[in-house]
Amino acid sequence: MVAGLVWTAAKVAVPRLVGEAIDDGVAVADRSAVVRYAWMIAGVGLVAAVFTGLRRYLAFREARWIEADLRLELFTHLQRLHVGFHDRNQTGQLMSRANTDLQQIQNVVVLVPLTISNLATVAAVVVLLVSIDPLLTVLALGSLPAMNVLTKRFSTNLHRPLMAVQEESAELATVVEETVSGIRAVKGFGAEADRSTRLAVEADDIYRESMASAQVRATYQPALEVLPSLGLIAVLGYGGHQVVNGDLALGSLVAFNAYVVLLVWPLRMLGWVVAMAQRAAASAQRVHEVLDTTPLIVDPDVPERLPESGGEVRFDDVTFAYRSNGPLVLDHLDLVIPAGQSVAIVGETASGKSTIARLLSRLYDVDGGALSLDGHDIRHLELAELRHAVGMVFEDTFLFSDTIAANIAFADPHAPHDVIVGAARSAGAHDFIEALPAGYDTLIGERGYSLSGGQRQRIAIARAILADPRVLVLDDATSAVDPSKEHEIREALSGVMGGRTTVVIAHRPATIALAERVVLVGDGKVVADGTHEDLLATEPRYRSVLAAWARAEEDGDADRGGVDGDRNVGGVDEDVDGVAGYGGAGDGIDDVEGIEGALR
Amino acid sequence: MMPANAVDADSRLDRRNAAHVLRRAAPMLRPYRRQMWIALGCVVLSTGAILAGPLLVRYGIDSGIAEGRTDLLNWAVVAYVVVSAIGYLASRSQVLAVSLVGEGFLRDLRRRVFDHLLRLSMPFYDREKAGVIVSRMTSDVDSLQELVQMGLLQLMASMLLIVGSLVLLAVVSPVLLLVCLVPVPAVVWASRKFQRDSNVAYLDVRDDIGRTLSSLQEGVSGVRVVQAYGRSEHQVARFREHNDRLYRSHMRSVFVQAWYLPVIEGASLLTTALVVGIGGGMVLNGSLTVGTLAFFVLTLSNLFEPIQQLSQLFNTVQSSGAALHKLFGLLDTEPDLEEPEHPVDLPRSGELVVDDVGFSYDGSVPVLVDVDLRLAPGERLALVGPTGAGKSTLAKLMARQYDPTAGSVSFGGVDLRDASSAELRRRITVVPQEGYLFAGTIRDNVRIGRPEATDAEVDAALESLGLLGRFRSLSEGLDTQVRERGSRLSAGERQLVSLARAALADPAVLVLDEATSSLDPGTEVLVEDALEKLVEGRTVVVIAHRLSTAERADRVGVVADGRLAELGTHEELVALGGRYAALYENWTAGRR
């Protein structure tokens, strides 16, 4: 701010000094005065130069700092917000809050100190010129406020076509993206011509919108350029006559000229600021909305502590819906799992079985009834303690762009290597990890090595095993694992499950058989409860559910299941539908190891 | 919003590449010659107008004011008005002309690059990462767009203005110009250093933006895992690291700017001081007029302002040049499969013969060796074998998605390399593993099999697979928009549409890659039925992942270790007691 004002003073002084050099030096033939003024200009110029850099640096430092700070705050808040919030908001939208919107805000913040010194410049120049010749000031600067108005209008009018160009570019990107990722279909069916036509349409659209934006620029830009000339002309015409008449010094005329030129940029920038401030206000509003959302799932004020060991899970008359007034996913469900017991939960798609898993680690809160762990309502426990006690393996495995070791050690980054290896062994992942180029240090994820669906699931299981929870929840966790490997994992899992409360959501008989007890759920309730053999013998509904799944995987090849296939059929599976975008991580299930594996 | 692109090593442009880019761009600009001349003319005119201003002020002062000749002063004023008007009009048309050229060039470039991508064959797509290919058409072309919209005109105008100012100053007073040149070495040195530093800083910032956004995206899309494991703090710490790094990169980039601007500003004002000091002295000696002095002071801003603007444009120009270089590099990539010069038509039906075929992806490691195979018209062959043993490769060779490195593949006696790619697709259709749909209606998607087909033919193709009723029963029937990648339909329904495409194409040979993932219980049956109808009467090669498929085929080929290890009917191979028999036994045992 101070830097800005010093800059203002120096900038404003220069034309004045030039004018006085002409009037007090050149005009009166005072050579020493000329040299003196030249030195003064040089000195003031130096000050102006230094402070130009300084004011810019300081303005950006402030703005970038605010941007970085807000982004961190936004991220921290997003990490704390309940899963229900994330279900409703697409990743892309949240990303643009933290990116585009913060950019808009930063753009304006950086301009605030610059604008203040620019305003000061305008004021100083006006005062100075009025003191020399008020009428000439009006003539010289009269057209300049128009520049301010024009710039603002320019920026506003340009915004629309620029947005349209962006939108059309996004559509073109979609065509390119779907063509490249579907290149097998394009080549297989010879669809090149069709794709080419589609792209041509999008390219034409971009062209059209770009030309619309060029039209706007052609309207305003030249006008903005020509406006200062009007001031210069007025100075030359009216001021020239004044000088001839002896009413104005020649140096002042030159100074007037220089001032008109000096004011061009500050005035243009003022116009930009107004237009950008409007956009930034909208952005700030959107960012604020996110920051203002209260996390619904938080630590209790006075947390209770879990006993040293245990693992008893109790669903007591639990009701739950993903949306208020939405369909009930769990409908007065009662279920008690004694500590150390393993339970398989079986049901059709949309029966609510995955929801049971998600409620256990309190990703959502129950709407009615209560869910307790070792006698404590889980809402009365510290989140960290609860989530340490409940280990989850999701059906759609999400791995981080990091090494395999770091992914397995997610729950405890300081875990020693042999613990990591032990967990990988238990999950049947050790052998393939060892075979990778960099073993446990192999980078995976977006820019790293891509694993098959089955491999990803095994790493996710290892991650849960390493956490060593008292309750382990496996939500269809082996669905993409090749059956010929699954029996290895099954053996390992039965070791892990020994003495630990385990909830397995599955539909392969062999996996179900791992559990001591089977619970069949349907329409959000427990329909039947017993051992696998009991239910097979006594429950026709159990048999029909198993048979439906078995048909789907008929050939004993891939048990990668219905949920993936159903994901796109709106409403068929509200488990999945309720958490829209849940599977967006794009875990390509391509573990083609069925008969191939056996053949090796 | 995508995570920003990683910075490639070739984001810089050296001189040799720049020359290459210019050479390649020239022919593409030829259709816009007229517009380019207009644009150039306008830029010259408008620059001239800007330069004429100070000249007229000088004339007004020297000839008018100093001599007391108000008539000449008035002339100068009128001339200034006229010049400004011309400048205004010229700059209006130059914006439009430059846009016409630039946007037109971009439109052509987009189409050309995309059409070229479509011409490239499967080996290219197997080699390159999809993300990189897409980024050629998106971020690379976008950085050119930025140049066209924001910088191209400014670039031309700034350069002209600098040159014009120098020339004028030289004409008006060579001595004073020499005075003005005193700070030039400092400006040149600073500008070169700035170019280097700011390019480094710019690439750093771009890279760090990419990293920060990736980390952001990971945190948001992985939030369920993060929360389930109670690792929010850890995740925030990771993000903070990237975020702080981005901040520091931003600040380095600001620093480079903040250091350079004062040099230019200082040079500009120092020059003004020199002009006033030395020029003032010259006026007193009578070797310079006051008007010329004023002219110099005014023109100096025409000289330094564009220098500063050029320095701001440098990064845009640099990255656009690099982008263009990459795009031309892509255009120079030849398709791996050559089109025959004199294409031969394929017969309607015939034997598909694989004759002594060998293949290697990289020229050294053989993938297939000595494969011989004859398929009679209408015969169904199932290929089985371990992953990586070469069965998919063999199927690709049989549809000429790749060319064999030894031996040949022919259909009805015609080597596949002698047929045009259009002709080939008409006779041999490859149905990919998953039903891949494009945004558009169901009808559009089926029609991809044969673009010139009528609506009735599309209906007939669906009907032939027994699917017409099913899709008609959707609320908007065949006009249902399937959205991007067909996300509105289930995986099974997408597969059905894909099969209908093949039915519409009506080829003699079908190459099927069997789906590895099973579908939901309902549609699985439908897909099997449709498939059964589709293969009726056609030669079929199926990459089988399920033994039941192999069991139903006329013959089974076991591909192992790059060879066709076993070939025969299911019964023969079971009786043979080899790999297939072992596999089959294993499977039946597993089925209980």
- Rounded CA-CA distance B530/B503 in Å is 10
B53 vs A: CB within 8 A: yes
Burial group, residue A274, by CB count within 10 angstroms (0-12, 13-18, 19+): middle
What secondary structure letter does DSSP report for B31? G
Q: Which residues 89-148 of A have a C-beta within 8 angstroms of B?
A: 91-92, 94-96, 98-100
Quick check: A586 pLDDT over 70? no
Q: How far is CA B88 from CA A597, B36, B578, in A?
A: 75, 19, 86
Please count the residue pairs, one from chain A and one from chain B, whose beta carbons lie less than 8 angstroms apart. Answer: 505
A286 vs B: CB within 8 A: no
| A336 in the same domain as A283 | no
Residue A307 falls inside a structural domain = no
What confidence tier does A589 reach under pLDDT thresholds 50, 70, 90? very low
Choose among B52, B146, B166, B35: nearest CA to B101.
Answer: B35
B68 vs A: CB within 8 A: yes
The pLDDT value recorded for residue A74 is 92
In angstroms, the separation between the Cα of residue A317 and the nearest Cα of chain B is: 23
In angstroms, the separation between the Cα of residue B454 and the nearest Cα of chain A is: 15
- Binary contact (A39, B277; C-beta < 8 A): yes
Of the residues A262, A292, A322, which one is the last residue of a structural domain? A292
| A327 in the same domain as A241 | no
A29-34: average pLDDT:
85
Domain containing A213 — which CATH number?
Answer: 1.20.1560.10
Query: Coil, strand, or helix at residue B409?
Result: strand
Quick check: A592 pLDDT over 60? no
What residues contact A598, with CB distance under 8 A and at least 6 apart?
Answer: A484, B583, B586, B587
Three state DSSP letters for A167-210: HHHHHHHHHHHHHHHCHHHHHHHCCHHHHHHHHHHHHHHHHHHH
What confidence tier does A595 reach under pLDDT thresholds 50, 70, 90? very low
The pLDDT value recorded for residue A250 is 84
- Binary contact (A565, B520; C-beta < 8 A): yes
The pLDDT value recorded for residue A448 is 61
The pLDDT value recorded for residue B517 is 56
Quick check: A417 pLDDT over 90? yes
- Binary contact (B294, A257; C-beta < 8 A): yes
- Number of domains chain A contains: 2
Task: Report the chain A residue with the minimal C-alpha distance to residue B109.
Answer: A203
- Binary contact (B60, A236; C-beta < 8 A): yes
Residue B374, beta-bridge partner list: B353
- Binary contact (A257, B57; C-beta < 8 A): yes
Residue A303 falls inside a structural domain = no
Residue A300 falls inside a structural domain = no
| A387 in the same domain as A283 | no
Of A383, A394, A594, the CB nearest to B516: A594
In angstroms, the separation between the Cα of residue B583 and the nearest Cα of chain A is: 6
Q: A interface mutation test: which of B106, B146, B153, B272 has the most A CBs within 10 A?
A: B272
Kindly list the residues from chain B whose CB atom is less than 8 angstroms away from the CB atom of residue A551: 521, 524-525
The pLDDT value recorded for residue A543 is 83
Q: Which residues 233-252 of B have a C-beta within 8 angstroms of A?
A: 234-236, 239-240, 243-244, 246-247, 250-251
Query: A99-140: per-residue pLDDT in tens?
Result: 888 988 988 888 888 888 888 888 999 898 898 888 888 888
| A325 in the same domain as A276 | no
A278 vs B: CB within 8 A: no
Residue A92 falls inside a structural domain = yes
- Binary contact (A568, B115; C-beta < 8 A): no
A536-545: average pLDDT:
84
CB atoms within 10 A of CB B532: 12
The pLDDT value recorded for residue A253 is 85
What confidence tier does A551 reach under pLDDT thresholds 50, 70, 90? low
The pLDDT value recorded for residue A580 is 28
- Rounded CA-CA distance B477/B482 in Å is 11
Quick check: A596 pLDDT over 70? no
The pLDDT value recorded for residue B516 is 58
Say how many CA atoms lie within 13 Å of A345 toward its Cβ: 26
Q: How far is CA B464 from CA A114, A188, B243, B415, in A?
A: 72, 20, 58, 31
Q: How far is CA A374 from CA A308, A361, A389, A506, B187, in A?
A: 10, 14, 11, 25, 75
- Rounded CA-CA distance A149/A147 in Å is 5
Write down the residue that tokens 């200082």 correspond to. Answer: B266
- Binary contact (B386, A79; C-beta < 8 A): no
Residue A490 falls inside a structural domain = yes
What confidence tier does A480 reach under pLDDT thresholds 50, 70, 90? low
| Dihedral in degrees, nearest 10, Cα atoms A351, A353, A355, A358 | -170
- Binary contact (B111, A207; C-beta < 8 A): no
A357-361: average pLDDT:
88
Residue A320 falls inside a structural domain = yes
Of A25, A175, A226, the CB nearest to B84: A226
Domain that holds residue A341: 313-591
Helices marked H in B63-151: 70-119, 122-127, 130-135, 141-146
In chain A, % of residues over pLDDT 90: 19
- Binary contact (A211, B100; C-beta < 8 A): yes
B583 vs A: CB within 8 A: yes
- Binary contact (B100, A549; C-beta < 8 A): no
Question: Residue A518 phi/psi, 5° resolution?
Answer: -120, 135
| A382 in the same domain as A264 | no
In angstroms, the separation between the Cα of residue B16 and the nearest Cα of chain A is: 30
Task: Report the chain B residue with the minimal C-alpha distance to residue A21.
Answer: B276
- Amino acid identity at B114: F
Where are the extended beta strands (E) located within A476-558? Answer: 501-505, 517-522, 525-530
In angstroms, the separation between the Cα of residue B436 and the nearest Cα of chain A is: 6
The pLDDT value recorded for residue B11 is 54
Higher pLDDT, A462 or B146: A462
| A345 in the same domain as A242 | no
| A484 in the same domain as A399 | yes
Of the residues A257, A292, A327, which one is the last residue of a structural domain? A292
B137 vs A: CB within 8 A: yes
| A362 in the same domain as A238 | no
Domain containing A429 — which CATH number?
Answer: 3.40.50.300
In angstroms, the separation between the Cα of residue B15 and the nearest Cα of chain A is: 30
- Rounded CA-CA distance B106/B283 in Å is 53
Of A143-147, A200-204, B420-424, which has the strongest mean pLDDT?
A: A200-204
- Rounded CA-CA distance A585/B237 in Å is 22
Task: Report the chain A residue with the minimal C-alpha distance to residue B141.
Answer: A169
| A325 in the same domain as A285 | no
| A214 in the same domain as A155 | yes
In angstroms, the separation between the Cα of residue B435 and the nearest Cα of chain A is: 8
Q: Which residues 151-210 of B have a C-beta within 8 angstroms of A?
A: none
- Binary contact (A596, B389; C-beta < 8 A): yes
Q: B interface mutation test: which of A57, A172, A189, A211 has the most B CBs within 10 A?
A: A189
The pLDDT value recorded for residue B234 is 85
A493-498: average pLDDT:
78
Task: Report the chain B residue with the minimal C-alpha distance to residue A33.
Answer: B277
Of B216, B226, B297, the CB nearest to A18: B297
Q: Which residues 25-54 of A have a C-beta within 8 angstroms of B?
A: 25-27, 29, 31, 34-35, 37-39, 41-42, 44-46, 48-50, 52-54
| A321 in the same domain as A262 | no
CB atoms within 10 A of CB B160: 19
Check: complex ipTM more than 0.90: no
| A357 in the same domain as A270 | no
Each residue's pLDDT tens digit in chain B (592 positions)?
A: 333 333 444 555 677 778 888 888 888 888 999 999 999 999 899 889 888 888 888 888 888 888 888 888 889 999 999 999 999 999 899 889 989 999 999 999 999 999 999 989 888 888 887 778 888 888 888 888 888 877 788 888 888 888 998 898 888 888 888 888 888 888 889 988 888 888 888 888 888 888 888 888 888 888 888 888 888 888 899 899 999 999 999 999 999 988 888 888 889 888 888 888 888 888 888 888 888 888 888 788 778 888 888 887 887 888 888 888 889 989 998 888 888 889 999 998 899 999 999 998 877 888 899 999 999 999 999 998 877 778 888 998 999 988 999 999 999 999 999 998 888 888 999 888 778 888 889 999 998 888 888 999 999 999 999 889 888 888 888 898 887 777 778 778 888 999 999 999 899 999 998 765 556 556 777 888 898 899 988 999 998 877 778 888 999 999 988 889 999 999 999 898 888 888 888 777 655 4
- Rounded CA-CA distance A373/A309 in Å is 11
